[in-house]
Chains A and B, each alone.
Chain A
Amino acid sequence: MAQDWKSFEPLLIPDIPNLQQIGVYEDNGGYNALKTILKDQGHWSRDHVIDEVKQANIRGRGGAGFNAGLKWSFMPDPDGGPRYLACNGDESEPGTFKDRKIFEYNPHLFIEGALIASYAMAIDNIYVYIRGEYISWVDMFQDAVDDAYEKGYLGENILGTDISIDMEITYGAGAYICGEETSMLESLEGKRGYPRVKPPFPAQKGLWGRPTTINNIETLANVPLVINNGADWYGDIGAEEHPGPVLYGISGHVNQPGVYEYASGVPVMDLINDVAGGIRGGKDLKAIIPGGSSTPPLRADQLEGVTMNSDSLKEAGSMMGTAGMVVMDEDTDMVDVLWRIAHFYHHESCGQCTPCREGTGWLEKVLLKIKNGEGEMKDLDLLLDVGNQMEGRTICALADAAVWPVRHTINRFRDEFEERCKKSVHAVA
């Protein structure tokens, strides 16, 4: 793997001109996976599709990395009432900008994946929830959905079968929390995005109290690949524990930032140097945040042999998250960076739980004090202490996501924080 990652041919974003047009997509084998299943439902029973996807081990690309097929198997048996697939295109975790590439460049791959998921779970209503800021991409994606209806892939009696599935697009209005799955359901129901207490889980009581599965856009775009080529083929791509193609978003201090598709498990240093053209201005690397702002930062000296794979990153002390990697050069001020992350989580806390509402405020306030040169040594312990009191005590994982970067940035860059406190007005006085 380590050497041959460069020979990978993109599967989600292949270099085919105008692939967003349905005709071009069809000419390149598009919708074949759906056709295969619908033509031979005896062979491709619902359970068979779920098993194949489960065996392929598509790890959810929304951040948590849960096996998609396993999630689908949690849906209860149909009882004649409505069932929903809610597709998560909220994409708001800082450092993450990959799902919009699918909307723009290969929307039908995602639509096909969502249709296969719906067939497998006997779902007849798909909602696609896109962040409101992506209005340009909402419009582009609507064109793709209209085309899919026109060609009979969506709507009543799909491809002449007795299967009917609808897809509706809706969009938010600015709120990071709506990416959390139950918050997204609330928002879809036309309410404030307050995450729900679990259980009940969405598979039992989701949209309007009915069974619902939530998947990320990129997760669903992987599904047709599995049906066309088989779970074994898919499992052989990239890292064993987290197989398949990955859209790596690379931003920060690199020469060529952007979204790049490779197999999972690319060495972190190769992503920075070979894919993203190295650090800007010929500087040295200081640290990375591997998969969105909530994943703990890793110092340059922690990166030897680390690959973009859930197990490798865990061993190194971080997480894969959304594979949206943020690269920081030697001149980066970690106090500034951590303050900005804390500001983000405080701004985005929905305020339902006291530990999160108050805690994210404290984290930001104390970090601002340190950043402004008014911090004291004991503030560092205060930050860690506040974090401990937030973690695991809230309705959703936003509070945890706010704590991890604080804890690990302070621990891994302690000198820098201490120095700032030592130089502060209090140290002088």
Chain B
Amino acid sequence: MAELSFTDEELKEIDKIKAKFPTAKAATLQVLWVAQRKYGHVEPEVQNLVAETLDLPKSHVHGVASFYTQYYKEEQGKFVLDVCTCLSCQLCGGYEILHHIEDKLGIEAGETTEDGMFTVKEVECLGACGYAPMLQVTNGEYVNNLTKEKVDDLIENLKNGQKPEFESMDMPELEKRNQAAAE
């Protein structure tokens, strides 16, 4: 990999993060996020960049990066589908959804399609149990109340570069209507 570095703008963002805490160490998680958003993963070279930027031991940053599941320790597909199969999702068909995706893409959970488009994972509860089964796209949008058809549409849209929009499940009905009317 070529020499890695943060741009001036990213360094400004990092300074803002550091200002939130009394120590530079406390910024580790957030700066790893900045790095992952930039490079798409936090492979060892990226971890080293974070360590140098915060003036922390590489071993510390490595320890943190390896502890948390949302940091990608290696390159992923363009879209990561994190399918929840935990308790409530299991009860509502989470495994059927996972297997449907696996069959459709011809890969198993943990793998990436040959064209580098999709990585599929099985994950623990994402805090959307009432809207099960569900999945999250690349640490971003939640897609709720999945059916096989909804999954097919999602994958088709992603292939065309169209990411799902944020879908509120929490606003009371009246509220949703008002927001819709305001738009």
Residues of A within 8 A of B (CB): 13, 15-19, 82, 91-97, 100-101, 104-105, 131-136, 168, 170-176, 187-193, 208, 249-253, 257-259, 289, 293, 324, 326, 328, 332, 336-337, 340-341, 344, 347-348, 350
Partner among B33, B69, B129, B179 whose Cβ is within 8 Å of the Cβ of A251: B129
Chain A residues with CB under 8 Å of B126's CB are 133
Chain A residues with CB under 8 Å of B28's CB are 190-191
Chain A residues with CB under 8 Å of B21's CB are 168, 190
Binary contact readout B98-138 vs A (1 if CB under 8 angstroms, 0 otherwise): 00000000000000000000000000111111111000100
- Other A-B contacts than A97-B128, A175-B69, A190-B29, 4 sampled, CB-CB below 8 A, are A95-B125, A100-B170, A190-B21, A190-B23
A105 with B90: in contact, given A133-B70, A133-B136, A190-B23 (CB under 8 Å)?
no
Partner among B64, B86, B169, B171 whose Cβ is within 8 Å of the Cβ of A340: B86
Contact (Cβ within 8 A) A94 B23: no
Nearest Cβ distance between residue B18 and chain A, in whole angstroms?
10
A93 with B175: in contact, given A105-B170, A189-B23, A191-B28 (CB under 8 Å)?
no
Partner among A96, A172, A257 whose Cβ is within 8 Å of the Cβ of B132: A257
Chain A residues with CB under 8 Å of B90's CB are 336-337, 340
Judged by a CB distance under 8 angstroms, whether B172 is at the interface is yes
| CB < 8 Å A-B pair total | 166
Partner among A15, A136, A175 whose Cβ is within 8 Å of the Cβ of B140: A136
Nearest Cβ distance between residue A314 and chain B, in whole angstroms?
22
Chain A residues with CB under 8 Å of B25's CB are 189-191
The 8 A-B residue pairs with the shortest CB-CB distance, nearest first, are A174-B70, A173-B68, A174-B69, A190-B28, A251-B129, A257-B130, A251-B88, A94-B125
Judged by a CB distance under 8 angstroms, whether B63 is at the interface is yes
Nearest Cβ distance between residue A300 and chain B, in whole angstroms?
15
CA of A172 to CA of B33 in the docked complex: distance in angstroms?
A: 10
Contact (Cβ within 8 A) A174 B68: yes
Contact (Cβ within 8 A) B85 A340: yes
Binary contact readout B158-183 vs A (1 if CB under 8 angstroms, 0 otherwise): 00000000101111101100110000
Q: How large is the interface on B (under 10, 10 to 19, 20 to 34, 35 or more residues)?
A: 35 or more
Contact (Cβ within 8 A) B70 A94: no
Contact (Cβ within 8 A) A94 B172: no
Q: Which A-chain residue is minimally distant from B141 (CB atoms)?
A: A136
CA of A190 to CA of B90 in the docked complex: distance in angstroms?
A: 33
Partner among A18, A101, A348 whose Cβ is within 8 Å of the Cβ of B179: A18
Contact (Cβ within 8 A) A337 B91: yes
CA of A251 to CA of B87 in the docked complex: distance in angstroms?
A: 10
Contact (Cβ within 8 A) A192 B64: yes
Q: Which A-chain residue is minimally distant from B19 (CB atoms)?
A: A168
Contact (Cβ within 8 A) B33 A173: yes
Chain A residues with CB under 8 Å of B87's CB are 94-95, 289, 293, 326, 337, 340-341, 344
Chain B residues with CB under 8 Å of A208's CB are 22-23
Q: Which B-chain residue is minimally distant from A208 (CB atoms)?
A: B22
Contact (Cβ within 8 A) A191 B88: no
Chain A residues with CB under 8 Å of B168's CB are 104
Judged by a CB distance under 8 angstroms, whether B79 is at the interface is no
Nearest Cβ distance between residue B41 and chain A, in whole angstroms?
13
Nearest Cβ distance between residue B9 and chain A, in whole angstroms?
19
Instruction: Show 30 residue pairs from A and B whose CB-CB distance is below 8 angstroms, ordered by the A residue.
Output: A17-B174, A92-B125, A94-B129, A95-B129, A97-B129, A100-B127, A104-B170, A132-B70, A133-B70, A133-B126, A170-B20, A170-B30, A171-B30, A172-B70, A173-B68, A173-B70, A189-B23, A189-B25, A190-B26, A191-B60, A191-B63, A192-B63, A192-B64, A251-B129, A251-B130, A257-B129, A259-B170, A328-B91, A336-B90, A347-B124
Q: Which B-chain residue is minimally distant from A173 (CB atoms)?
A: B68
Contact (Cβ within 8 A) A190 B68: no
Chain B residues with CB under 8 Å of A170's CB are 20, 29-30
Nearest Cβ distance between residue A271 and chain B, in whole angstroms?
13
Chain B residues with CB under 8 Å of A105's CB are 170-172, 175
Chain B residues with CB under 8 Å of A348's CB are 124
Nearest Cβ distance between residue B157 and chain A, in whole angstroms?
18
Contact (Cβ within 8 A) A253 B91: yes
Judged by a CB distance under 8 angstroms, whether B32 is at the interface is yes
